[in-house]
Amino acid sequence: MTTLEDYLEKNADRIDKVIHRYFGDVHGDLFRASAHLLLAGGKRLRPAVVILAADAVRRGSSDDLIPAALALELTHNFTLIHDDIMDGDVVRRGVPTVHVVWDEPTAILAGDVLYAKAFEFICLSDAGDAAKVRATKMLARTCTEICDGQSMDMAFEKRSDVSELEYLEMVSKKTGVLYGASAAIGGILAGATPVQADALYQFGVNSGVAFQIQDDLIDLFANTEKSGKDRASDIREGKQTLIAIKAREKGLDLAPYRRDLTGAEIDDLIARLEDAGVIDAVRATAVERATVAKEALSILPQSEEKRLLAEIVDYFINRSF
């Protein structure tokens, strides 16, 4: 029986080879900038979800859908490049961010290139035209929702009264819908029924919300070398994460931490959050969403791929600090 760790490693190698085929030897600053984060590695989780969802619907179908899996990775990287500009982050995946290596205008255009290429690669998949139209429409709607989620996230920085429901709507759009699209697009291109495609979408959205909540915790706990990002950047930037919302509910003021922080100051903040029960409450919400995600898979027949999809959800909420 294949372990999830082995599967993700083999899938990442498979996707990396495709990435290097198309982006490993590009010329000119713009195209090197667009390939920068792609070539920096990553778990390739969204392509894995595309491939597993396809094979859960029709085993072996994913061999024809690798371009679609790559399309979801391109979409993810386009959002990362633009997010890093808006957030002012200087490190991503252990390397300098695109706008740091080049400049902001080049980085914006590099993200735009990946956005456009994503639709091209959807169309390169070996699937029926009707299915590709449905998949393309879903990816377009997803990109719109991601932008809306990012806009909400930025607007929340100017507020101190963001509710948990508002936060969950924001992360559903900013992170959840891309996982939802990954699962549903894989299913659609493999011939899923509308009911199956919707279940896969719900699986992806809820697992993506759980992923983002865990990502917020990792931002606080993990060191830069391990996470590939600036530690506690969300706290310093005043982002209204679930951590910040739960802290406010517990009477903890995080405003004094909106500045450059030493490691000792971050450790002290973590201790305060743990003592107040904030971390446990945030974890509980992630687990709840993960449970909903796994329940959505019940419509699919039993298979190795279905098991691995369920294990991916557990992986999302158990990634180490």
Kindly report the number of other CB atoms within 10 A of residue 60's CB atom. Answer: 9
Q: In which band, very low, low, confident or very high, does the pLDDT at 228 lie, cut at 50, 70 and 90?
A: low
User: Is the distance from CB of 63 to CB of 51 less than 8 angstroms?
Assistant: no
What's the mean pLDDT in 32-51?
A: 93
- Tens of pLDDT, residues 1-13: 889 999 999 999 9
Lowest-confidence pick of 6-10, 65-69, 146-150, 156-160? 156-160
Amino acid at 181: A
Give backbone dihedrals phi and psi of 193, rounded to 5 degrees, phi first: -70, 160
Kindly report the number of other CB atoms within 10 A of residue 16's CB atom. Answer: 17
- Tens of pLDDT, residues 271-285: 999 999 999 999 999
- What ranges in the chain are assigned the alpha helix state H? 4-23, 29-36, 45-57, 66-87, 98-101, 104-123, 129-156, 164-171, 177-189, 194-221, 224-227, 233-236, 242-249, 263-275, 278-296, 304-318
According to CATH, the topology of domain 4-318 is Farnesyl Diphosphate Synthase (1.10.600)
Residue 315 has pLDDT above 60, yes or no: yes
Would you state the pLDDT for residue 226?
Answer: 57
Cα dihedral value 234, 235, 239, 244, nearest 10? 120
Q: HSE, CB side, 13 Å, CA atoms: give it for residue 43.
A: 15
Residues near 254 by beta carbon (within 8 Å), at least 6 away in sequence: 235, 238, 244, 247, 248, 269
Q: In which band, very low, low, confident or very high, does the pLDDT at 104 lie, cut at 50, 70 and 90?
A: very high
Residue 240 has pLDDT above 70, yes or no: yes
Would you state the pLDDT for residue 221?
Answer: 87
What's the mean pLDDT in 76-89?
A: 91
Residue 109 has pLDDT above 60, yes or no: yes
Indicate the burial class of 240 (C-beta count within 10 angstroms; 0-12, 13-18, 19 or more). buried
Would you state the pLDDT for residue 260?
Answer: 87
Closest CA to 38 of 120, 146, 110, 138: 110
Element (H, E) at 92: strand 91-92
Would you state the pLDDT for residue 92?
Answer: 85
91: β partners:
96
Residue 290 has pLDDT above 80, yes or no: yes
pTM for this predicted structure: 0.91
Would you state the pLDDT for residue 316?
Answer: 93
Domain boundaries, the chain: 4-318
DSSP state of 301: P
